[in-house]
Amino acid sequence: MSVPKAVRQRAGELHRELHEHNYRYYVLDAPVITDAEYDRLLRELQDLEVRYPELIAPDSPTQRVGAAPSKAFGEVRHEQRMLSLDNAFSDAELGDFDRRVCERLEVDAVDYAAEPKLDGLAVSLLYEHGVLTRAATRGDGVTGEDITANVRTIASIPLRLAGRGIPAILEVRGEVYISHRGFERLNLQAVKDGQKPFVNPRNAAAGSLRQLDPKVTAARPLEFYCYGVGRTEGGALPERHSEILVRLRDWHLRVYDGIERVHGLQGCQAYYRKLEAARATLPFEIDGVVFKVDRLDQQDSLGFVARAPRWAIARKFPAQEEQTRVTGIDVQVGRTGALTPVARLEPVFVGGVTVTNATLHNEDEVHRKDVRVGDTVIIRRAGDVIPEVVRVLREQRARGAPVFHLPKHCPECGSAVERVEGEAVARCSGGLFCPAQRREAIKHFASRRAMDIDGLGDKLVDQLVEQELIHDVSDLYRLEVEQIAGLERMAQKSATNLVKALEKSKATTLERFIYALGIREVGEATARILAEAFGDLDALMGADVEDLQVVHEVGPVVAQHISAFFREPHNREVIQRLRGAGLHWQAVEPGAARPLAGRTFVITGTLSMPRSELKERLQAAGARVAGSVSKQTDYVVAGAEPGSKYDKALALGIEILDEAACLALLK
């Protein structure tokens, strides 16, 4: 059957593309496509060669295991070929593999050795009389690179085997990899040294093994697991693959503890599901599970095809990295006002789900990765982790693609966007008004230490917002009993009680009101300091950054947050409506006497009053109330059954007050 011209042309294109990607991955350590994309191209060529066998050429990528070894290292010719594995991407393909095995062996079921497929670099270790004499990469399966000097630096590879029955010549095959923790440390050090971080652990492992200076390799966190043997002479090995691995462990070679012997297709599927569920918790990267017919005599009967054994297969996990295109960059506003750029993507199946969005974290991250609309990108999704853009394929970028910048105004409410110098996150300054922040602003406003609106819980706030009965905190004071009573799990009495609580909350203090506004980094203590320093809300609202920094314990960052909040017209409008609804407080004399200023108190034990009430009274008198006893503590207030704080105060010689003595001090 003649090969159609279009098919022959496509096969030629696939040849060229796959050879180029092999070269980039194995020789340059600089891949430009994902493993999943490479697998798709290879699978397409395999399918064409199955339909048209005359397309198969000796140099076809389907007939090769890897790529040519680098000339930077000496060459090693493998005495037994280091073959690759065929892949199964679905349960159906795994079932086809098992069916072919059973049919060729004329049995109903076989035992398989099941093990994780580590995402590292395959190597061969040659031991002569128990001593490591040579190490090589897989290379193209026939010839690899001599990396003996570098492999000797890997602590998990023994230089001499121990135990009895070691063959005179033993070739061990396994995977060199870098763990998640090691990869994180490696990239942190790279950034610290001003170097480019590695793309993924496997590239880092490959690059580390192929350093011309073994001292560089020794500094990398490389580890090793063995998964089988090649050539052996002068000694007997067990007749099952799983038992060989146990023997290798006895000789002090590192073998993964989770390798199991499973029976039949159901056993394979159960092991695959178990490792798929555990994948995110493993200390290293795996991209699938390898199943090998366990009995060596059955392996011999099954034999090999050109590039892979018939007795083994890799059941691959759904790809965690995929290639797609950025169709847009939107900006989302979070519940705290943080602006997060999000890449809108052409839909792509990755990590078991269809992904259409990926987080870009913040503006600095967008610029660091240089993500632009229209870019072809690699995205990653691992387990339940939010998909993220790993890198941009800049060589595929359209000319003139614009650089992304965050908007200067919030896309939700139009308020000014604030980004304090030195901070990565930009935020909307319309905290009282912004719809994206509405729920959190109302919940904080109603909390016990703020306006203390009894009965206004989180679920009720959610209902009020969802039914659009309130759009900002000022709308709380316009609610009527009938509106509230009509909500889920509310009745006339509870609605009446809430309206009464709202009315009661109108009489408050200036410091509580300032705290209730939810200004970034303005907690109770800072709100109290601001109230005492300015005495009046209008004076505080009119203060500029310089005025604010004059206040004790208000630094430049907090001053910037306060100034930005009150500069925003939307916030001022909400405050005006709150005052119009009747919220009021007694005036505070600026700089009023604070008799306990500079004194530090610690409270312990059970008191007759709520501990929070005593804390507020002490703070109102200028005291600082700490949570632990130290040499800087002036007084410890001890109620009934005091704990270890009381004992520590005694040991340090700190004055201890009972409740009555503390109240007397306050008077």
Active site residues: 117
- Alpha-helix residue ranges (DSSP H) falling in 229-295: 241-250, 264-278
Residue of 209, 253, 257 whose CA lies nearest to 229: 253
Cα–Cα dist 312/211, whole Å: 32
Q: Where are the beta strands (DSSP E) in 36-165?
A: 75-77, 87-88, 111-118, 121-128, 131-137, 143-145
Instruction: Give every CB contact of residue 446 below 8 A, 6+ residues apart in sequence.
Output: 452, 453, 456, 461, 476
| Residue whose tokens read 């016990």 | 448
Cα–Cα dist 429/415, whole Å: 6
Residue 181 CB-density burial (10 A; 0-12 exposed, 13-18 middle, 19+ buried): exposed
| Residue whose tokens read 């792509």 | 348
DSSP of 513-572: HHHHTT-TT--HHHHHHHHHHH-SHHHHHT--HHHHHHSTT--HHHHHHHHHHHH-HHHH
DSSP three-state, residue 133: strand
* Assigned token pair, 139: 């290379």
Kindly state the helix (H) or strand (E) to which residue 453 belongs, with its residue range: none
Cα–Cα dist 275/486, whole Å: 51
- 602, 629 contact by CB (below 8 A): yes
Give 322's strand partners.
379
- 137, 147 contact by CB (below 8 A): yes
DSSP-derived letter for residue 129 is T
Residue 301 CB-density burial (10 A; 0-12 exposed, 13-18 middle, 19+ buried): middle
Cα dihedral sign, 359-361-363-369: negative
- 77, 145 contact by CB (below 8 A): no
